[in-house]
């Protein structure tokens, strides 16, 4: 039986570009501090990965530097097994890091929904999506990586097409974690195909706005970086929506006399 999300995508109304940007700026005022916290936690996972990657390469850089100073050819005599093992280690660690960062991003969508709808729902911990979903997140990230690589191999032009549905994977999975990996990707492409131009424009504009923090000595980018997720949240809300929220708003409070 097909998941209801596909029918909601088929019947979705065309989102308003300007309205989504306006709402995004308004919501950013409420969630920028949470975005900062999510960004710092993400950096806490990225930094050790960078250290692990570059520490084994220190002898390589030292040898290259000395060769340039004294005018001799560096040997770079490393066993093939060492090079292959190092490459595999980087690949595995990068996927593990990406899963944790992706889980943090998914949690931010819960925070945005809470702030936007003025609810007091428990958003759980920053890694709430890892519980029972680690394998699914791993496969999902592998699929995204594969799609991006395939698009890049096709002369890079298809990357502009797939960047739209790939950006929709986060909000769709955040609010529909029961979907399988294939259903999540299918829903992302289905929604992306319907409103590709609008979504593409939102991605470009929000990405530019997210980089404005660089003006503040580069540190400010940590504050603005998570802005890119806000238009995607409203794009999801304006097209797929939250049926459960609509039902709750229609309920008559029992303590109000009629």
Q: Where are the domains of the chain?
A: 4-45+99-241
Q: How confident is the model over 24-70, as pLDDT tens digits?
A: 999 999 999 999 999 999 998 888 888 888 887 787 778 777 777 77
pLDDT at res. 217? 58
pLDDT at res. 216? 60
Mean pLDDT, rounded, for 85-113: 92
The stretches of 55-79 forming alpha helices (DSSP H) are 58-70
Neighbours of 68 (CB within 10 A): 10
The stretches of 118-133 forming alpha helices (DSSP H) are none
Query: Using 50, 70 and 90 to split pLDDT, how confident is the model at 254?
Result: very low
139 burial class (0-12, 13-18, 19+ CB within 10 angstroms)? middle
pLDDT at res. 245? 62
Which range (13-22, 69-78, 111-120) has the least confidence?
Answer: 69-78
**Angstrom distance (rounded) from CA 237 to CA 245:** 11
Neighbours of 234 (CB within 10 A): 22
Sequence-distant (6+) residues with CB within 8 A of 116 are: 27, 233, 237
DSSP 16: P
174 burial class (0-12, 13-18, 19+ CB within 10 angstroms)? buried
Sequence-distant (6+) residues with CB within 8 A of 212 are: 220, 221, 224
Mean pLDDT, rounded, for 209-218: 73
pLDDT at res. 252? 42
Q: How confident is the model over 148-172, as pLDDT tens digits?
A: 999 988 877 888 999 999 999 999 9
On the question of pLDDT at 199 being above 50, the answer is: yes
Q: Which residue has the higher pLDDT, 71 or 175?
A: 175
Which residue do the tokens 């999975």 mark?
173
Query: Using 50, 70 and 90 to split pLDDT, how confident is the model at 218?
Result: low
């Amino acid at each position: 039986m097909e998941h209801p999300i596909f029918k909601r995508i088929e019947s979705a109304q065309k989102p308003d570009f300007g309205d989504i940007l306006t709402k995004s700026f308004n919501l950013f005022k409420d969630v920028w501090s949470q975005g900062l916290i999510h960004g710092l936690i993400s950096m806490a996972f990225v930094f050790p990965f960078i250290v692990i990657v570059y520490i084994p390469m220190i002898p390589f850089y030292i040898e290259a530097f000395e060769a340039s100073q004294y005018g001799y050819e560096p040997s770079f005599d490393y066993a093939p097994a060492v090079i292959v093992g190092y490459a595999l280690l980087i690949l595995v660690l990068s996927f593990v890091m990406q899963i944790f960062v992706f889980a943090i991003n998914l949690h931010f969508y819960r925070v945005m929904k809470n702030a936007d709808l003025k609810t007091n729902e428990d958003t759980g911990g920053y890694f709430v999506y890892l519980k029972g979903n680690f394998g699914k997140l791993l496969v999902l990230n592998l699929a995204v990586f594969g799609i991006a690589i395939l698009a890049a191999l096709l002369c890079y032009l298809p990357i502009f097409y797939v960047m739209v549905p790939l950006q929709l994977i986060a909000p769709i999975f955040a609010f529909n974690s029961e979907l399988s990996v294939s259903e999540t990707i299918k829903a992302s492409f289905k929604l992306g195909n319907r409103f590709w131009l609008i979504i593409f424009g939102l991605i470009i504009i929000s990405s530019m706005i997210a980089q404005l923090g660089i003006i503040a000595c580069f540190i400010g980018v940590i504050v603005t970086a998570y802005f890119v997720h806000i238009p995607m949240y409203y794009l999801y809300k304006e097209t797929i929506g939250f049926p459960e929220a609509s039902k709750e708003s229609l309920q008559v409070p029992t303590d109000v006399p009629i």
